[in-house]
Amino acid sequence: MSTRSAQTTENRFSGVTNPATAVGKTVADEQNHNYSVEDIVTSLIEQSDEEAISISDVPTDEQLHERALLDILAGHAISVHDDIPADVNTLSIGGVDTFAREGLHFVKAKAKQGKTSALAIIESVYISSNGGKWGLLQRIGNSPLKVRHIDTEQKPYDTQQFTNKVFNMAGTTEDEAGDNYRVYNFRTETDNDRKKELIYTMLKHDPTDVLVIDGVVDLMDNFNEIDDSKNTISWLMQIATEFKIVLFCVLHTNKNIMDHNMRGHFGTMADQKCDNTLECEKDEKSSIVTVKCTASRHRPFPKWSFTWDNDGNLIDAEKQRTAMLLRQAEETKAKREKDAQKVNESRKDTMLSILNAHNGSMTRAEMTTELKRVLSLSDSSVSPLITAWVNDKVIFQYGKIIQNSSQLDIFNEK
């Protein structure tokens, strides 16, 4: 082999592996490049076999997918040793901290029961520059928060009136509030996917602390459709987590007056996924709206209430609510007493009829037996009734005999 051919072979070979090692040559041989073409070929064949073995060890697509899933699963693992930040609550109600960032909070009620007005109060507390307090509600933190309100139901004029109400209650103006408060009306938007895109784009480019969606069902096609409900709930949770916002959604309850569940499959899922559920109930006699926490992942906050003054302004109604509850308790007590009196009068008339049927006189044992049969009462219930009628001189007892008259001659004649 020529010198040039040997050099070419050595150069090509040197980039592949260590041929001397592959064929068991000594260090001196390796340093002197004292190996033949046959040695080189043998080494290349062995290297090819090793590469074939390593290729057979390359994981399949399925194995790669499983490895990726295991990595994702590990990322979702929770340990007591993890440094996980606590909830960042934004409002205190009666001393109970609530409405955490990244949380989903639903406001529910029948139609025209004060949901929007309750939101106006909450939003005014968030943006107020004078301490953020209203009744039992107290903002956590000194600085106003940035609130965005989406109205999907009302006419633009009504939305504007709502906005004015929030500013008035917060003790500020639109100019003073600046970018702390913005309101959007989506009533004319018909494409539900575009509504979501608009909201997402707003959150992406306009830093927000609190988002309120008044009319959340208008973001979906059918609140009774399982997939649509599931996807919408997932989207709401996603934006709450991604943008670290407090997310309020408004939803009606079922039409049946005794049914307080939120409407449709969406309402069922919302109740399962949300952090808090608030319900507004309006007393039609007093126009006092009571807001209560019907479900919470944490400590539920106490009830709070509001009403309207003669000028239509929202005012704290805690004193009025207390007075209303006392009045209702008195009315309930009076009704129970009246109902009990009617029952007692009916039982007394029944007893006198039985007594008269026995010519005005019978033994107490006989009367007890008859009253138990006619009134379907027990001994322990009938005996106090007879004793009370005797004490009230409705009937008269002489020994074991019961009479409808105090005259002993009835007894003597008998």
What pLDDT score was predicted for residue 20? 45
Alpha-carbon distance of 389 to 302, in angstroms, equals: 47
- Domain end call among 20, 54, 84: 84
Residue 139 gets which letter from DSSP?
Answer: E
Mean pLDDT along residues 93-101: 97
More confident residue, 322 or 317: 317
Cβ-contact 167, 128 below 8 angstroms: no
Percent of residues, the chain, with pLDDT higher than 90: 72
Q: Judge if 177 and 305 occupy the same domain.
A: yes
The CATH number of the domain holding residue 362 is 1.10.10
Residue 179 lies in a domain: yes
Residue 17 lies in a domain: yes
pLDDT digits (tens, 9 = 90+) for 300-314: 999 999 999 888 889
What pLDDT score was predicted for residue 12? 43
Lowest mean pLDDT among 25-29, 123-127, 190-194, 307-311: 25-29
- Confidence check: pLDDT of 23 > 60: no
Structure tokens at 222: 């059918």
Residue 321 lies in a domain: no
Cβ-contact 232, 266 below 8 angstroms: yes
Task: State the alpha helices, DSSP H only, in 110-261.
Answer: 115-127, 156-170, 174-177, 192-205, 226-242
Q: What is the pTM of this model?
A: 0.67
Mean pLDDT along residues 4-26: 46
**Based on the structure, what is the number of domains in the chain?**
3
Evaluate the CA torsion angle 172, 177, 181, 182 in order and state its sign: positive
What pLDDT score was predicted for residue 180? 96
Q: Judge if 114 and 248 occupy the same domain.
A: yes
Residue 104 lies in a domain: yes
What pLDDT score was predicted for residue 28? 46
Q: Judge if 77 and 93 occupy the same domain.
A: no
What pLDDT score was predicted for residue 53? 56
State the first-to-last Cα distance of the chain, in angstroms, to the nearest integer: 154
Percent of residues, the chain, with pLDDT higher than 70: 85
What pLDDT score was predicted for residue 326? 84
Q: Judge if 247 and 346 occupy the same domain.
A: no
pLDDT digits (tens, 9 = 90+) for 347-378: 999 999 999 999 999 999 999 999 999 999 99
What pLDDT score was predicted for residue 56? 61
- Confidence check: pLDDT of 17 > 50: no
At 68, the pLDDT band (50, 70, 90 cuts) reads very high
Mean pLDDT of the chain: 87
25: domain range? 1-84
Lowest mean pLDDT among 52-56, 208-212, 214-218: 52-56
Q: Judge if 105 and 216 occupy the same domain.
A: yes
**Beta-bridge mates of residue 100:** 89
Residue 45 lies in a domain: yes
Contacts of 408 (CB under 8 A, 6+ apart): 398
- Domain end call among 264, 290, 316: 316
